[in-house]
Structure 1
Amino acid sequence: MHCGLCLPHCPTYELHRQEGDSPRGRLTLMQGLARGELDPQSPRLRSHLEGCLGCRSCEAVCPAGVPFGALMDRTREILLQESDEPEGAPLPMPRMLHDRLLGSPRLRRLAGLGARAAARLPRAGLPGLDATVRRALEHARPSLAPPPRLRADGPPDAVDVLLFTGCMDAFFTGPDLEAALTVLHALGLKVGIPSSPTCCGALDRHAGRPAAATELERHNREAFGAAEDGPPVIVLDSGCEATLREAADSFPGARATSLTRFVARHLEEHGPPRDGWREDPVRVALHRPCTQRNVTREGEILPTLLRGLPGVTLTGTPSLPNCCGAGGTAMLAWPEQADALGQQTLQALGTEAPDCIVSGNVGCRVHLRALQPQSPEDPPLLSPARFLAGRLAVT
């Protein structure tokens, strides 16, 4: 399918105006690569294919239903298999994340400690580091948070819901997980937290490493149970939810649900939390991540939920790009592209001077926080969990 109706929706084509950076151009390159007509070692070919952000905006508007995301995952698998990287060479930072870190709770904790220690140093105090490692440390600096202290309310078979903690808890999402517990408890629910969940597998899946992703999915299946009638699995970030819902070998996708979808449904069926909501006014700029709009198709659930809360006003976001540029590890691998799109996103979100910005994906929040000037006037970037917890009435 090469009609080109998707071109206006592609953030990299909008930025570069090159056919090879459009969905139509990339599909042509994928075909040539699969047929053996193109050299997999070509830097230009790899630049076009590896530079895709995986936002799947093209897939969402395609009249023929071309599964662009799955095709890109398979293409990157081919590129990885055909890599001329010498055996034993040091892994680049994005590959190190996939291969070494995110699947191991112990390594994640150690890496989190190291990252927080490095964040205390001035930028000039990090000499001699690989450029991608330096970029990772500096980009993560504004978002680093202590790991959470979470306590389950009972075993998995004796609770109302299960909480998916993922692999970012040692770095960024500790406060979000604690906030989610606060919200769920305020709704009168018992929450179970499996002791050994791991990464959802998204980064591996989209980097062309399906076997590694499948192994992570198997581990999560064991942690959460495979029964279709088990408790709902609450997922805080849209990228994780999209992966868990689409993974064939994970626990049944119907059980995975976003916190906002679950809360919206619970409020509709059972009414407000026991102590109600705060009513003081707050202006919110809403960032809807690509996975939320294009994969889980929950783009309207969060704004509808927020509009129904007392005192909340959603500001307008004109000219918001289709993607903020984060794209998993793309913010590290393609910094110029990521920062250009991120700056456009921040500018659009800040047009009407909101009190805060709410975004449903951890990668987007990390990326956008890193691009803020870090002044007291910056609106805080919050997860839906932290925003909802902050709007609970305190009695």
Structure 2
Amino acid sequence: MPLAVLADQCVQCGLCLPVCPTYALDGNEAESPRGRIAIAAALARGQVSPNAELREPLDHCLGCLSCERVCPAGVKYEALLVETRSLLGPAPERPTALLEVVKRPRLNLWAQRLVRWTGVWRWLGHALPGAWREALALAPGKPHELHHVHGKPKQPRPGPPPPSRKGKKVGTVALFPGCVASIYDAEAERATEMLLVAAGYQVTHLPAFCCGALDSHDGASREADAAAAHVRQAWANAKADHLVTVTPGCLSTLRKALPEVRVDDPYRLLAERIDTLAFHPYPRQLALHVPCTQANVARSDAALLKLLRRIPQLELKRLPAPPYCCGAAGSHLLQFPERAAQLRESVLAHITTLDVQGLLSSNIGCRLHLAAGLKEHASALPTLHPLTLLAQQWIPS
């Protein structure tokens, strides 16, 4: 759909303003969805020329899509944002070299190992560009683990449980590892496979690569198109019924690449088979952070809560909804670290008021960003993917 047509869908009612994190941060109309739509419309019609002042509010947008969820006119804000950024092209300050490392799992893994083995960040960190320093700060150290509370701690499993002979198989699920998640959420991906097999699904794996979300949301349309072609080829080879990812930040891009395929996070599939799963009690209080993409794109927060509430004695304290956003937003935390830190502080302030023993969050970018903020506050509060907790407490049948 042409950009001008997308912009014309907006009726300028302003209902998006109260849920916009950047409008709450700046109190500036240009930093609101309504303001950005007006800028996009003017650019599309040639009424203004692209310049740094005009593109700054567009670059600041987190793409959280809280505005799209509450819009009474059905404005396709994500499509509008992606089209406008594609028109402008990547921001001059975009850390392209760093993102090339981030998008390539093997290269990313070797870079992380080099940093850990040599301790290069200790003497080189202050000399690096800001985005590289932020990336080093996000690299997780030794994790603080959530305590097991049902007898002895479980030992790491060598793989998923064998397929159950009980009942009929309900379909084949292809698991998409992504790029960053394939490294930092490998445990959650193993947990997902374990739970899906226990629920009666067969599981296959796509190779680890970037889905194109980072490029698409940064205006690098040629690279995003190449990634989409990679997704389609990998899916064609998978011979599966559904595609899932443990990182909700990938969902929108995967759905765009595969419009005829059911692409989801695992919670809906597991919730549909919830009667096949049982869990050990977990008498603890945990904070639950629902990433913007899970609430507004996957819209699977109800399924997530249904599964977590299946764990006896677990008490969840959900963090507030929009306009609160942690500020991670793909590469936003690398390009605009000060703004990302300000947004994160609002979320951390809520966490500190809660009497909890851990923090759950489904999106790897959000979880690394929040963990780095907790570390800055000298907090040892552990963070975990909800699927890892579910697998930890799962009772094999």
Aligned pairs for 1:1-395 (under 5 A) are 1=10, 2-41=12-51, 43-80=52-89, 92-93=94-95, 95-98=96-99, 100-101=100-101, 104-117=104-117, 120-121=119-120, 123-142=122-141, 160-169=172-181, 171-187=183-199, 189-194=201-206, 196-225=207-236, 230-245=240-255, 247=256, 249-250=257-258, 252-254=260-262, 256-268=263-275, 271-272=276-277, 276-318=278-320, 321-373=323-375, 378-393=380-395
Q: State the shift of 1:152 in Å.
A: 11
**Structure 1 149/307 Cα, relative in aligned 2: closer, same or farther at 3 Å?**
closer
Conserved 8 A contact 2:291-2:366: yes
Q: Distance in 2 between matches of 1:325 and 1:160?
A: 35
Q: How has the CA–CA distance of structure 1 residues 151 and 92 changed in structure 2, closer, same or farther, with 3 Å as cutoff?
A: farther
Q: Output the TM-score relative to the length of structure 1.
A: 0.83
Preserved contact between residue 9 and residue 57 of structure 1 (Cα < 8 Å): yes
* Cα distance in 2 between the residues matched to 1:225 and 1:341: 40
Report the Cα distance in structure 1 between the residues aligned to 2:313 and 2:161, rounded to whole angstroms.
32
Structure 2: runs of 5 or more not aligned? 1-9, 145-156, 164-169
Residue 88 of structure 1 corresponds to: none
CA shift, 1:376, in A, is 8.1
User: How many Å apart are 1:161 and its aligned residue?
Assistant: 2.4
For CA contacts below 8 A with separation 6 or more, give which structure has more relative contact order.
2
Report deviation, 1:159: 8.0
Greater Cα offset, 380-389 or 56-65: 380-389
Using the alignment, how far apart are the partners of 1:105 and 1:212 within structure 2?
Answer: 17
Task: Output one character per residue of 1:316-340: Cα deviation in whole Å (capped at 9) or x when no partner.
Answer: 5357643111111101111111111
Q: Quick one: structure 1 residues 376 and 40, their matched pair in 2 at CA, closer, same or farther if it must change by over 3 Å?
A: closer
The one-letter code sitting in structure 2 at the alignment partner of 1:250 is L
How many angstroms apart in 2 are the aligned matches of 1:303 and 1:329?
28
Deviation at 1:135, TM superposition (A): 1.7
| Cα distance in structure 1, aligned partners of 2:102 and 2:33 | 30
Q: How far does the alpha carbon of each residue in 1:226-270 deviate from its partner, in whole angstroms, 9 at most, with x for none?
A: 89x83322210111123212x1x337331x2212222111224xx
Structure 1, unpaired ranges of 5+: 86-90
Q: Could you give the per-residue CA deviations for residues 340-375 of structure 1, whole angstroms, max 9, x where no partner exists?
A: 111111221342221221111111111111100368
Conservation of the 8 A alpha-carbon contact between 2:98 and 2:132: no
1:214 shift after superposition: 2.3
| 8 Å Cα contact 1:153/1:159 also seen in 2 | no
In structure 1, C-alpha distance between the alignment counterparts of 2:123 and 2:380, rounded to whole Å? 24
Change in Cα spacing, 1:251 to 1:36, as seen in structure 2 (3 Å) is closer
Amino acid paired to 1:325: G
Cα deviation 1:143-197 (Å, max 9, x = unaligned):
899xx9979989xxx9832221111146422222222233334446542223x34
Q: Give me the whole-angstrom Cα distance separating, in 2, the residues matched to 1:293 and 1:234.
A: 16
Deviations 1:39-72 (A, max 9, x none): 312x221211101111111111111111111111
- Distance between the aligned counterparts of 2:75 and 2:360, measured in 1? 31
Residue range with higher mean Cα deviation, 1-10 or 164-173: 164-173
> Which residue identity is paired with 1:208?
G
Normalising by structure 2, report the TM-score. Answer: 0.82
Aligned in 2, Cα 1:318/1:73: closer, same or farther, shift over 3 Å?
closer
